Structure 1
Amino acid sequence: MQIYLPIAEMSVDGLSIVGIGLAVGLLSGLFGIGGGFLMTPLLIFIGLPSAVAVATSANQTMGASISGLIAHWRRGNVDGKMGMVLTLAGLAGSALGVQVFALVRRVGQLDLVVAVFYVIVLGIVGALMAAESVRAWLRRRRKIPRRLHEHFWMHGLPVKMRFRKSRLYISVVPPVVIGFGIGFLSAIMGVGGGFILVPAMIYLLGMPTGVVIGTSLFQVVFVTAAVTVLQSVSTQSVDIILSLLLMVGAVAGAQFGAAMGSRLRGEETRGLLGLLVLAVAMGLGYTLVRTPDAPFVLEPLR
């Protein structure tokens, strides 16, 4: 079933797009992420322009995250106060990121910048998550007790705030910095940032894993909504037809993922996510070094 995408200016198989959305939605509910880090590369792999893939992935991520957030909210796994702090900082970061995205697109280096960002960010995050998951598994096998989190210099920063749902009393500065960075990456990479936010909330802020997933989705929903609006106004690259096809599968997949996630241990969840992130990074890294089928391609100016 071929469907024409007006913004991407190409036809795609509708059922395949829905299937991609279903798979990414499943990951959203399972890992507490928006799934944009996987969605954007998949759309680029099937031939969509990078600008459309990034902007539309942010929109689809919002839909998938709303479904996952509802499921986790019903289970009481959302720290609303922490989510608001992360969201406000993320909105500021996304506003800056959209401006940088538009600038890079004007100079004609968007494809390269998006790919390099993905390889570097996903490679580092995936490797750290996979390594930590292995260490946690070994500690559990040896029955070595593990502290919830280590105390770094950042825990001595001023402007402390109590987050009762997460059982924390920490400075508001680290959540603000994390939220701002996630917002910036969301605009540049078309991701919700959950694959970075989840480990940051666990290892830097010391939040319980069960609360982290729902709270991550809370922040992802509002930041990706802001990115979608800003991208629509600034670059006009959000393809609503493509987004609707992806959301059809993603919303259903998120509900199944949330149910499956409750059956996995924390280190198992983090290990699987780390391996998935690494796989995507290696796939994009290969596209940067392989010889292209068509070394020179002429495209009309937009």
Structure 2
Amino acid sequence: MEFIILAIIALAAGVIGALVGLGGGIILVPATLFIGVNLGMISGITPQTVVGLSVIMMIFTGLGSTLSNMKTKTVDFRSGFIFFAGSIPGTLLGAFVNKGLDLPSFNLYFGILLILLSILLLVRNYLKPVSWFVKRGKTRDFTDESGTSYTYGYPVWFALLLTFGVGFASGLFGIGGGSIIVPAMILLFLFPPHVAVGTSMFMVFLSAIVNSITHISLGNVPWIYTIPVVPAAYIGAKLGTKLNQKMKSETLVFALRIILLLLGIRSIVDGIWG
């Protein structure tokens, strides 16, 4: 029964993560903690083991999505490597900080992050894109399948600083970081949405490899649970990428805002009174 539950969670995390460039950890972590700890349906789940499981899963969601996005040329590999370089030290720091968190503290901080992300997703369509960063960095041009042309770019120093913070959140909470970096890429660097998602998933793949090495060394990975999670997440990522290429993701993003807000509130309540 545990394997079936985890496979369903991982499939949903893979689909949603790849569709909007989140990586999937932001779905897997709270869902597994709630079902495993609050409902007692998955044994051996702690904040550390669920983060370890999440980062292993994100290797395969990132890989599956990147391979699919490569076919439509919506992965900016140069930017992906730059963002990855900035995230490495933050990821390592976050993983070691995670080691000292108990469940109430994890729930509290994770809940605050979820609410902040839901607000960011809520207001991103009402914010005017900022061209200041584009003008101060090396620019690139992209034309999508509909013929719409985009010019985007960023100063490398700011990208490295931003992705350090993204990496820290990824290592601490086992999330892919795409929920932070995708809105930033679109609003600050003027990335085309599909390129932002594709590049984010490539960064998720690279970061998850480093993140997983750290969590494996700390003994945080429940290997038995990777059996249902990895294949389900990989399949979900492939499906999510196909949906991303065929449909507008605004409906799902709207639903995701509400889900993140509710999960965040519940996580904070569990952290304070759980």
The TM-score by the shorter chain falls in which range? 0.7 to 0.9
Offset at 1:49?
A: 1.1
Q: Residues 131, 125 of structure 1: CA spacing in aligned structure 2 closer, same or farther, 3 A cutoff?
A: same
TM-score by length of 2: 0.86
The within-5 A match list for 1:238-277 is 238-265=221-248, 267-277=250-260
Residue 91 of structure 1 corresponds to: 88
Residue 40 of structure 2 corresponds to: none
Question: Which whole-Å deviations, capped at 9, do the CAs of 1:25-84 have from their partners, x for residues lacking one?
Answer: 111221122111111112211121111011211111221121111111111111111101
Alpha-carbon distance between aligned partners in 2 of 1:205 and 1:121, rounded to the nearest angstrom: 23
Alpha-carbon distance between aligned partners in 1 of 2:261 and 2:216, rounded to the nearest angstrom: 30
- Of the three residues 120, 129, 132, the one matched with 1:128 is 120
In structure 2, the residue corresponding to 1:76 is in which secondary structure? coil
Offset at 1:269?
A: 5.0
Identify unmatched segments of 5+ residues in structure 2. 38-44, 143-149
Alpha-carbon distance between aligned partners in 1 of 2:225 and 2:249, rounded to the nearest angstrom: 34
TM-score by length of 1: 0.79
Offset at 1:283?
A: 2.6
RMSD between aligned residues: 2.1
Question: Which whole-Å deviations, capped at 9, do the CAs of 1:140-175 have from their partners, x for residues lacking one?
Answer: xxxxxxx7x2234x5576xx3344557334311221
Alpha-carbon distance between aligned partners in 1 of 2:249 and 2:9, rounded to the nearest angstrom: 26
Residue 112 of structure 1 corresponds to: 104
More helix by share: 2
The within-5 A match list for 1:62-77 is 62-77=59-74
Question: Which whole-Å deviations, capped at 9, do the CAs of 1:111-163 have from their partners, x for residues lacking one?
Answer: 23322221111111211212334x48xxxxxxxxxx7x2234x5576xx3344
Q: Residues 269, 207 of structure 1: CA spacing in aligned structure 2 closer, same or farther, 3 A cutoff?
A: farther
The letter of the residue matching 2:247 is L
2:219 is aligned with 1:236: yes
The letter of the residue matching 1:90 is S
The letter of the residue matching 2:255 is L
Residue 154 of structure 2 corresponds to: 170
- Number of equivalenced pairs: 259
Query: Is the Cα contact below 8 Å between 1:94 and 1:180 reproduced in 2?
Result: yes
Q: Residues 207, 155 of structure 1: CA spacing in aligned structure 2 closer, same or farther, 3 A cutoff?
A: closer
Query: Is the Cα contact below 8 Å between 2:110 and 2:264 reproduced in 1?
Result: yes
Query: Is the Cα contact below 8 Å between 2:134 and 2:152 reproduced in 1?
Result: no
2:198 is aligned with 1:214: yes
Question: Which whole-Å deviations, capped at 9, do the CAs of 1:163-202 have from their partners, x for residues lacking one?
Answer: 4557334311221122111111111001111111111111
The letter of the residue matching 1:224 is A
Residue 161 of structure 1 corresponds to: 138
Identify unmatched segments of 5+ residues in structure 1. 2-12, 137-146, 293-302
Q: Residues 174, 272 of structure 1: CA spacing in aligned structure 2 closer, same or farther, 3 A cutoff?
A: farther
